[in-house]
Amino acid sequence: MPTLSSFRTALATLPILARAQLSPQGRQMLAEIRQMQHSLPAHYHAQPLPDLLQSITPQQTDWQESNPEQVRKLVDALAFWDRGSPFGICLRRSLLRYHFLRRAGVPLGLVLAMRARSGPDETPGLAGHAWNTLAGQPWHERPEDRLGFTEVYRWPPEETV
């Protein structure tokens, strides 16, 4: 059952997506983000993680004319609505942010983390989480969402904490 928070998020994404439809640049950005979003699962399963991350690391900053905050909001909105993805929202959002914000000139990194599930309503095993970093620090990530998680992988490899 949807929560009040997810309902609010859904409402907040609608104007972002509508505004993007009003300009040729916005429509092009939407198309590129959607295309990558739909191709990510196949690439994820077809190659080792370092190869996948290397392949989505842009070689140029061809979106430098774009407002990075608007790019982030657009990526987040599309990631929110991609309910058919085999990825959790944090992984698809982090991978898409990483690629498209780097194209906009923002040198983001990516962190993958794990924790043991221990809550009364959780299935035993491991839970994963992903977030972006900027200059080695969490970027647009609430501290409470990282609680209990241990970093297991950081990309790019040369990014420092």
This model's pTM is above 0.95: no
Q: Is the pLDDT of residue 114 over 90?
A: yes
| CA angle centred on 148, ends 99 and 93, rounded to 5° | 20
Average pLDDT over residues 26-41: 95
What's the rounded mean pLDDT across residues 34-55? 93
pLDDT digits (tens, 9 = 90+) for 115-149: 999 888 888 899 999 999 999 999 999 999 999 99
Residue 154: which of 109, 96, 100, 103 has the closest Cα?
109
Radius of gyration of the chain (CA): 16
Is residue 1 pLDDT above 80, yes or no?
Answer: no
Higher pLDDT, 145 or 4: 145
The dihedral formed by the CA atoms of 28, 30, 32 and 37, expressed in degrees to the nearest 10: -170
pLDDT digits (tens, 9 = 90+) for 45-75: 899 999 999 999 999 999 999 999 999 999 9
Provide the percentage of residues in the chain whose pLDDT is more than 70: 97
Q: What is the pLDDT of residue 160?
A: 55
What average pLDDT does this structure show over 79-96? 91
